[in-house]
């Protein structure tokens, strides 16, 4: 099942070329309610019948918002081997974590406004994991039982706050307004299946600048959930941004940063493509 949030606040199921409006306006509440999720799946299947076109909206005319507003967003740094190599530093023995605030979230189609004072804005295409059942001190072998679904996230980063300061300010670098485009929708865990071998790509103005696969993750999705849940309770709707492949702008020679008018398309296989621009 695929679930989206419209700009007017409605929740909708996603079909290949249409949306199915669903009751309610709170995605996290829907993800937390097993019975409501079953009802949503039935409503989407019913609306997909050829004779029920009146229950559908054209997908290409829809204005989508971020699929949810997470309680917290936990980012994972240097979690692909090639990206860890281009960043440098010692081999990680545990995940390198940071936080992005909910205020950084924006949706598909957003023209992200980079603050004028930021000189080194960068992109990072990522698979995002959405927590379903709350998780605290869970074992890795059952960690995926706590996943509601998956989406795509751009971990936009002001690199000067990461690398040009005496002490790195990673959460600040990645937490500015609109620095967390998410979407275009959630693909539920039962539809996507195991997240072991998903392609992750980013194109900038039509040029492919990142390509990786989740089989290259240093710390897998269940390993991340288990590790994080040792220290904090993961709640329904929380998001884990699992890391980015190599190819971000800061680590190129010469470095390449986002600028006004840039268009990005971030894709994860079995999910779709998140598109947004730079204002």
89 confidence band (pLDDT: 50, 70, 90): confident
pLDDT of 143 strictly over 90: yes
Mean of per-residue pLDDT scores for the chain = 97
The arithmetic mean of pLDDT across residues 44-62, rounded, is 97
Q: State residue 84's pLDDT score.
A: 83
If DSSP states are collapsed to H, E and C, what string results for 142-205? HHHHHEEEEEEEECCEEHHHHHCCCCCCHHHHCCCCCCEEEEEEEEEHHHHCCCCCCEEEEEEC
> For residue 91, which of 100, 101, 81, 99 has the smallest C-alpha distance?
81
- What structural domains does the chain harbor? 2-64 (no CATH), 66-278 (3.90.850.10)
Mapped onto helix, strand or coil, the DSSP state of residue 217 is: strand
Percent of the chain beyond pLDDT 70? Answer: 100
Q: Using one digit for the tens of pLDDT, what is the confidence trace for 147-184?
A: 999 999 999 999 999 999 999 999 999 999 999 999 99
Structure tokens at 124: 């990072």
Report helix, strand and coil shares of the chain as percent, to nearest 5.
Answer: 25, 35, 40
d(CA 268, CA 241): 13
> For residue 22, which of 13, 9, 30, 31 has the smallest C-alpha distance?
13
Q: State residue 82's pLDDT score.
A: 83
Mapped onto helix, strand or coil, the DSSP state of residue 253 is: coil
Q: Using one digit for the tens of pLDDT, what is the confidence trace for 56-83?
A: 999 999 999 999 999 999 999 999 988 9
Q: State residue 88's pLDDT score.
A: 83
Q: Using one digit for the tens of pLDDT, what is the confidence trace for 215-235?
A: 999 999 999 999 999 999 999
């Amino acid at each position: 099942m695929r679930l989206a949030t419209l700009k007017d606040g409605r929740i909708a199921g996603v079909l290949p070329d249409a949306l199915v409006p669903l009751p309610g306006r709170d995605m996290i509440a829907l993800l937390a309610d097993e019975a409501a999720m079953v009802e949503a799946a039935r409503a989407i299947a019913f609306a997909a019948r050829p004779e029920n076109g009146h229950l559908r909206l054209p997908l290409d005319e829809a204005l989508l918002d971020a699929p949810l507003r997470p309680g917290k967003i936990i980012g994972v740094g240097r979690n692909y081997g090639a990206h860890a190599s281009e960043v440098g530093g010692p081999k990680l023995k545990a995940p390198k974590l940071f936080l992005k605030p909910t205020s950084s979230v924006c949706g598909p189609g957003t023209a992200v406004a980079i603050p004028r004072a930021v000189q080194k804005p960068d992109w990072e295409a990522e698979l995002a994991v959405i927590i379903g059942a709350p998780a605290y001190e869970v074992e890795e072998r059952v960690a995926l039982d706590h996943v509601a679904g998956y989406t795509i996230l751009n971990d936009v980063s002001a690199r000067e706050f990461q690398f040009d300061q005496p002490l790195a300010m990673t959460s600040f670098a990645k937490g500015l307004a609109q620095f967390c485009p998410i979407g275009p929708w959630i693909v539920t865990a039962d539809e996507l299946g195991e997240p072991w071998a998903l392609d992750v790509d980013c194109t900038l103005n039509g040029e492919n600048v990142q390509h990786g696969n989740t089989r290259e993750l240093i710390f897998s999705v269940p390993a991340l959930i288990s590790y994080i849940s040792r220290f904090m309770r993961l709640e329904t709707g929380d998001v884990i941004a699992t890391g980015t492949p190599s190819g971000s702008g800061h680590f190129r020679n010469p470095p390449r940063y986002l600028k006004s008018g840039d268009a990005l398309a971030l894709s994860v296989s079995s999910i779709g493509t998140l598109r947004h621009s730079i204002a």
